[in-house]
């Protein structure tokens, strides 16, 4: 069960965020409303939400998931692979927020790069995708830090997705949403895989929060598959975040 969530309000500079989506620039006023609805859904799922102030100098800073990995034993501050995001990981308000919840805070160091959008937690085990943003040096540091606290991790080769969790979502109870290249990845054979079709691939980025699953709006086949598994579903529109390669999991730290 998750007790706490940290989010950051999107900044007015969100339209300058990194993107490969080709869907136009996000509209700040819409992004703000969508973020408020996202926080409302999280609150409905029974967590305490810490809301950090926007940072205009960092257009992607609402995607807080990438700058820290929150585990049951420690928080690990990452070192983002995207240069424009590297200083986000050291923002004082984020460190202070984590210090309220964690006695132990660790850091990924050069030459390692890690964005926690590449990390999927399954109990005490963490799958770490090797992507354009997370390198092997960073993944090895991350695994060593996890092992220091009695947790475990393994690397997953990737070729297509931006982040590991772009195409994977663990919904607890051995249920795993899979899209694209991960449908045939040997690492995930033991899971009950719910395959997501190409036309709704973005919908694979859902989040499980205390028996609710938050699902992006506009992906009815994904929503039905999750409801058929017996989960309570909350739907949140993330269309403005999709324009800058972001989704539901990217917008929060959940622990």
So what's the pLDDT on residue 18? 81
254 is in an annotated binding site: no
The CA-CA-CA angle for residues 56, 164, 146, to 5°, reads 90
pLDDT tens for each residue of 148-158: 999 999 999 99
244 is in an annotated binding site: yes
Strands 175-179 and 168-170: antiparallel
pLDDT tens for each residue of 41-52: 999 999 999 999
85 is in an annotated binding site: yes
Question: Looking at residue 88, which CATH number applies to its domain?
Answer: 3.75.10.10
Where residue 22 falls among pLDDT bands split at 50, 70, 90? confident
Number of domains in the chain: 1
Using the predicted structure, report yes or no on whether residue 17 has a pLDDT greater than 90.
no
Can you tell me the distance from the alpha carbon of 48 to that of 71, in angstroms, rounded to the nearest whole number? 16
Using the predicted structure, report yes or no on whether residue 228 has a pLDDT greater than 90.
yes
56 is in an annotated binding site: no
By residue range, what is the domain housing residue 91? 4-254
* Average pLDDT of the chain, as a whole number: 97
Where residue 15 falls among pLDDT bands split at 50, 70, 90? confident
Looking at the annotation, which residues are catalytic? 163, 250
pLDDT tens for each residue of 44-101: 999 999 999 999 999 999 999 999 999 999 999 999 999 999 999 999 999 999 999 9
pLDDT tens for each residue of 174-188: 999 999 999 999 999
128 is in an annotated binding site: no
């Amino acid at each position: 069960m998750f007790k706490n969530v940290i989010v950051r309000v999107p900044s007015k500079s969100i339209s300058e965020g990194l993107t490969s989506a080709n869907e136009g620039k996000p509209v700040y006023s819409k992004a703000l409303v969508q973020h408020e609805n996202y926080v409302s859904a999280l609150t409905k799922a029974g967590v305490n939400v810490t809301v950090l102030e926007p940072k205009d100098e960092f257009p992607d800073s609402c995607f807080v998931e990438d700058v820290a990995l929150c585990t049951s034993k420690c928080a690990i501050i990452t070192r983002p692979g995207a240069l424009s995001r590297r200083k986000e990981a050291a923002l004082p308000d984020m460190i202070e927020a984590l210090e309220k919840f964690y006695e132990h805070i660790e850091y990924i160091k050069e030459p390692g790069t890690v964005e926690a959008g590449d990390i999927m937690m399954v109990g005490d085990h963490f799958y770490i995708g090797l992507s354009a943003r997370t390198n092997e040096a960073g993944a090895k540091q991350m695994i060593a830090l996890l092992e220091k606290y009695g947790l475990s991790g393994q690397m997953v080769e990737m070729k297509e997705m931006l982040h590991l969790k772009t195409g994977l979502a663990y919904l607890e109870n051995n249920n795993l949403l899979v899209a694209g290249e991960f449908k045939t990845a040997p690492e995930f054979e033991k899971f009950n895989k719910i395959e997501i079709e190409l036309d709704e691939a973005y919908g694979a980025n859902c989040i499980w929060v205390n028996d609710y699953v938050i699902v992006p709006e506009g992906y009815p086949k994904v929503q039905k598959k999750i409801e058929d598994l017996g989960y309570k579903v909350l739907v949140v529109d993330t269309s403005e975040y999709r324009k800058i390669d972001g989704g539901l999991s990217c917008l929060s730290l959940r622990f």
